[in-house]
């Protein structure tokens, strides 16, 4: 049967070892992964055996059930094998944004208590910069040839260094004899901080794999589908909603290094892709390209957009496909879907609750609101282990988010009379830039480490493409001088490239309430009314390195 059958994978059976054992047996010689830029392909059987070797090799070097393993890797087949290999021994994967460096990278690895890190050779130097601040780190596994002088690292402290490929030599491919349950922790997924630092959401095997089973059921994915993945694998969208969906329904994955407007449609055509996901301004970038005679020359049947733009219907007509949308959060999981079977009049909504999910729109006191009134979107599941388990080492934040037995998303929406939910805005102090969630709090904390900065407020400035840019309004210490480029250099050293503010404004003071809370809404309104009052690093020609 071509369509995915949700009863074939009951929730209690959702563990990485069991799903791979089943799929490798049923789809043994079918291509699971095609690494587009190298042409390497891996069948289900080959990938299963490779992941088994990774699992056993990790155990041989000291990684155990429950060990936390950071994964600092770009898109690659090795990244895929590492993630599933970690899961096969019951260890806990911690995907790390490859743009992280300095203080932010240190925070991710220390907050998640990683004792092992698997890292691309090209990113190894970033670990060296913060090694002294990672006392729990016991071993590093390097993927690829590296030029770093790691001898000084191991000399300074007890640290094991392993080559990924050499580590696999002699490792058995048979499944490890570790017993893993669906409720065992599989991964810590960092979500953007809102009123505090980024939080690591705890996802069980079941919670992670229901990203795939839920989407496959809601969107009617097929074994014949080919998923084109151009989003980074350290994001749940690519790793769980795309790769995971393909795995559970026996489909294939075409993996790209990254999103490229220039190569997007040629990749789609050459690979025969039928499904892909877009985030943020990616849709706008594709839409802005002048129409071509071969726009409809593709096999895409479904394309997920978040958010769904007003021109989505025209996008469907131009490229000959259907737009879908799926709503969820790393803090919780996926909850709603708009599908190709839903009325086109509802295109633009985030759809209706998936089977097993409950959704309410509530006021500030958690009382449900009637249809047509905007309130906070809160979520709950019918089955155990389907949602994220809370925030790692943040019990208070977990309790606040799950108050009154519902998960509070911080997003505001409206439910219409037909049960479709329409996203309105975010209550969270969070910035969404080109598919990346950025914590205003984290940017502010790093800026405050600059010796000349006395106060700072970071806000989102909405652009013409409906994307957001980071703007920082700064008050300097009395008697000090501040240079815009110096601020950018400070940010570049200590945060991911996409977090670095585009706009900087220096002020004598920040607007505050009588309780001395900074009125960010006023700052945002003033900047969006006249952005020319802020210094623009792009206009100044100041480049930020990835």
Split at pLDDT 50, 70, 90, the class of 194 is: very low
pLDDT tens per residue across span 457-507: 999 998 777 778 999 999 998 888 899 999 999 999 999 999 999 999 999
Task: Give the pTM.
Answer: 0.85
- Nearest one of 190, 276, 275 to 231, comparing CA atoms: 276
Strands 503-506 and 468-476: parallel
User: Where do the domains of the chain lie?
Assistant: 45-203, 431-536
Lowest mean pLDDT among 3-12, 374-383, 400-409, 531-540: 3-12
431-536 belongs to which CATH class? alpha beta
CA distance 273 to 261: 16
- The backbone torsions φ and ψ at residue 274, rounded to the nearest 5 degrees and listed phi first, read -115, -15
- Could you count the other beta carbons within 10 Å of the beta carbon of residue 485? 12
pLDDT beyond 60 at 449? yes
Give the whole-angstrom CA distance, residue 414 versus residue 420.
Answer: 8
Please tell me the CATH code under which domain 45-203 is placed: 3.40.50.980
> Tokens in use for 312?
């989505």
Total count of residues recorded for the chain? 546
In tens, the pLDDT along 370-422 reads: 999 989 999 999 999 999 999 999 999 999 999 999 999 998 899 999 999 99
- Tell me the mean pLDDT in the region 354-361: 96
Mean pLDDT, rounded, of the chain: 92
441 vs 203 pLDDT, higher one: 203
365: which 2 tokens? Answer: 């006191």
Quote the CA–CA distance of 540 and 546 in Å, as a whole number: 18
Percent of the chain residues past pLDDT 70, beyond the cut: 96
Q: Tell me, what's the pLDDT at 196?
A: 58
Burial 222-249 (b: 16+ CB within 10 A, else e): bbebbbbbbbbbbbbbbbbbbbbbbbbb
Which of 33, 10, 13, 12 lies closest to 21, judged by CA?
13
The model's pLDDT over 60-114, given as tens digits with 9 standing for 90+, comes to 999 999 999 999 999 999 999 999 999 999 999 999 999 899 998 999 999 999 9
Query: Helix 77-88 and helix 16-26: axis angle, to 10°?
Result: 120
What does the pLDDT look like over 273-320, one tens digit per residue?
Answer: 999 999 877 888 898 899 999 999 999 999 999 888 888 999 999 999
């Amino acid at each position: 049967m071509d369509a995915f059958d949700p009863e074939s994978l009951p929730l209690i059976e959702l563990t990485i070892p069991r799903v791979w054992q089943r799929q490798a047996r049923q789809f043994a010689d079918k291509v699971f992964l095609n690494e587009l830029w190298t042409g390497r392909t891996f069948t289900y059987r080959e990938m299963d055996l490779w992941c088994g070797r990774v699992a056993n090799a990790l155990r041989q070097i000291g990684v155990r059930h429950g060990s936390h393993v950071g994964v600092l890797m770009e898109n690659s087949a090795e990244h895929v094998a590492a993630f599933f290999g970690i899961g096969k021994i019951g260890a806990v994967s911690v995907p790390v944004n490859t743009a992280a460096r300095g203080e932010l990278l240190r925070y991710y690895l220390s907050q998640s208590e990683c004792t092992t890190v698997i890292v691309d050779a090209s990113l190894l130097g970033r670990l060296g910069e913060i090694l002294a601040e990672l006392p729990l780190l016991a071993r590093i596994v390097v993927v690829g040839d590296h030029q770093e002088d790691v001898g000084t690292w191991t000399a300074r402290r007890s640290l094991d260094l392993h080559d990924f490929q050499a580590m696999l030599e002699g490792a058995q491919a048979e499944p490890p004899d570790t017993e893993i349950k669906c409720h065992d922790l599989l991964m810590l997924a960092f979500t953007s901080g809102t009123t505090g630092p980024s939080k690591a959401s705890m996802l069980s095997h079941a919670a992670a794999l229901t990203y795939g089973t839920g989407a496959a059921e809601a969107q009617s994915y097929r074994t014949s589908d080919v998923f084109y993945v151009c989003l980074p694998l350290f994001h749940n969208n690519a790793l769980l909603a795309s790769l995971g969906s393909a795995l559970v329904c026996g489909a294939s994955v075409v993996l790209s290094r990254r999103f490229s407007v220039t190569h997007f449609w040629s990749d789609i055509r050459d690979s025969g892709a039928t499904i892909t996901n877009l985030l943020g301004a990616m849709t706008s970038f594709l839409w802005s390209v002048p129409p071509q005679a071969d726009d409809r020359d593709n096999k895409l049947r479904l394309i997920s957009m978040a958010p769904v733009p007003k021109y989505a219907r025209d996008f469907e007509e131009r490229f000959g496909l259907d737009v879908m949308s799926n709503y969820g959060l790393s803090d919780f999981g996926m909850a709603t879907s708009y599908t190709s079977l839903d009325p086109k009049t509802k295109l633009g909504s985030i759809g209706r609750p998936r089977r097993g999910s409950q959704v309410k729109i509530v006021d500030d006191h958690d009382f449900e609101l009637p249809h047509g009134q905007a309130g906070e979107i809160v979520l709950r599941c019918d089955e155990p282990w389907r949602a994220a388990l809370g925030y790692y080492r943040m019990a208070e934040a977990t309790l606040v988010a799950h108050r009154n037995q519902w998960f509070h998303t911080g997003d505001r929406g409206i439910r219409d009379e037909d049960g479709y939910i329409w996203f309105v805005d975010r209550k969270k102090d969070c910035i969404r830039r080109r598919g990346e969630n950025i914590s205003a709090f984290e940017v502010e904390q790093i800026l405050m480490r600059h010796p000349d900065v006395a106060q700072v407020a970071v806000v989102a400035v909405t652009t013409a493409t409906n994307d957001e840019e980071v703007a920082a309004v700064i008050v300097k210490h009395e008697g000090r001088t501040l240079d815009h480029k110096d601020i950018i250099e400070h940010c570049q050293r200590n945060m991911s490239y996409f977090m670095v503010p585009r706009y900087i404004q220096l002020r004598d003071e920040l607007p505050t309430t009588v309780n001395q809370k900074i009125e960010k809404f006023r700052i945002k309104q003033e900047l969006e009314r006249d952005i020319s009052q802020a210094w623009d690093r792009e206009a100044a020609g100041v480049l930020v390195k990835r």
